[in-house]
Amino acid sequence: MQATISSKGQLVIPEALREQARLKQGDQVDIGYCDGLIVLRKRQPLTAARIRALLAGGRQLPEMTSADAGQLSEAIQAVRRDRRAAKP
């Protein structure tokens, strides 16, 4: 699909896309720019139920590599050295 930006910077989202995204008049959207793409996302209110669901889902962290472990060890040692040096 193609659309044109007006002289005021406005853009009409084609009806088919609005229907797919369930966007209607008055809805708010978050807009961002990432890797050459302009991204629109329907804003969802932050309700107590949504907060609980987000917290319950947790966050998956990537596996630690040996390089990560080495950097972590170096950072810990640097903090310990600084603490020892700061003691009277």
**Secondary structure, 3-state, 23-71:** CCCCCCEEEEEECCEEEEEECCCCCHHHHHHHHHHCCCCCCCCHHHHHH
Q: How far is CA 82 from CA 56, 70, 87, in A?
A: 38, 18, 9
pLDDT at 87: 78
pLDDT of 64 strictly over 90 = no
Q: What is the pLDDT of residue 13?
A: 93
pLDDT digits (tens, 9 = 90+) for 10-47: 999 999 999 999 999 999 999 999 889 999 988 887 88
- Domain residue spans of the chain: 11-57
Is it the case that residue 70 has pLDDT exceeding 90? no
pLDDT at 63: 81
Determine whether domain 11-57 maps to CATH 2.10.260.10. yes
